[in-house]
A and B are shown apart, each in its own frame.
Chain A
Amino acid sequence: MLENSIFVLLALFLLLGSAGMVGFKQTLFSAISFMMAMLALAGMFALLDNSFLFLAQIMVSVGAVVVLSLLVIVSVNVKEENLPKEPAKFRWMLFAVVLVAPLAIVIYKALTYMPHTWAKTGEGYGSLKMMGMTLFKDWVLPFEIVSVLLLAAMVGAIVIARKEPSNDA
């Protein structure tokens, strides 16, 4: 019973947050709604007994991604008049809803083929210990190449954003 109401609350926050992210004109408000969505998502993971994902979501998505974005928003500090002009934004969005709706229906129809009820999850499912065992016993290769991915992304970001001493050509 409690679980149900928690789910409903979290889902509400998640949807409101992401809808706000898409809807707000001010970038800062969007970023804050995005943070709300990410926090609600972390709560979802906790509700699903995924303690490790809960931690990762808080640390990476909220701690790193959102904070980094806020930092960029504050340091870039786009003036109100320099924000993109989006006249009739919501009318266009309605149009987009119409476009996306068939896809969403396809996804939904496909998902109805999945089973409806919960199977019993095993003892200790989602505990950090089990997660660590799986990660380092069966999933070593993806884990290692994700490290390469992060390194490549870091190099790429630095190369793109760094100020060169040389002249502008």
Chain B
Amino acid sequence: MMEITLQHYLVLSTILFAIGLIGVMRRKNLLLLFFATEILLNAVNIAFAAISSYYGDLTGQMFAFFIIAVAASEVAVGLGLLVLWYKRTGKIDLDAMTSMRG
């Protein structure tokens, strides 16, 4: 059986990033859009943790740690907005956003 290398982690990170992008691009459920951006950030976190282990240097881990905090704060504001949006329109639908055109 082959050994797990840095490459495997990085490929995993790439696939996860692509999944996140697809989610952001094609879903219309607003809550899922926030989840998908979380996935994007966490995909990069894998890369950071793996590279950090590779160099034996803690910078990458630090960055991953800060990204976790940033992701949490983004979700907090996003969910606040989502609750407001749902209270007003009764939907969590991206297609409901049509009041500005032209």
Contacts and interface: CB of A to CB of B under 8 A. Distances in A.
Direct touching of A and B (C-beta under 8 Å): yes
Contacts of A45: 49, 64
Contacts of B71: 61, 65
B70 A125 contact: no
A72 B87 CA distance: 12
Nearest to A22: B23
B42 A61 contact: yes
Contacts of A34: 35, 38-39
A62 B58 CA distance: 23
Contacts of B35: 21, 30-31, 34, 69
B32 A160 contact: no
Interface string B71-82: 111111101111
B76 A22 contact: no
Nearest to A146: B69
Interface residues of A, number: 86
Given A84-B93, A104-B17, A89 B26 contact: yes
Main secondary structure of the interface of A (DSSP, over half): helix
B26 A93 contact: yes
Contact of A72 (B32, B52, B72, B83): B83
Contacts of A50: 49, 52-53, 61, 64
Contacts of B15: 15, 104
A118 B80 contact: no
Interface of A: 1, 3-4, 7, 11, 14-15, 18-19, 21-22, 27, 30-31, 34, 37-38, 41, 44-45, 48-50, 52-53, 56-57, 60-61, 64-65, 68-69, 72-73, 75-76, 78, 82-86, 89, 92-93, 95-97, 99-101, 103-104, 107-108, 111-112, 114-122, 125-126, 130-131, 134-135, 139, 142, 146, 149-150, 152-154, 156-158, 160-161
Given A45-B49, A119-B55, 7 more contacts: A38-B42, A93-B22, A101-B18, A116-B7, A119-B56, A130-B58, A156-B80
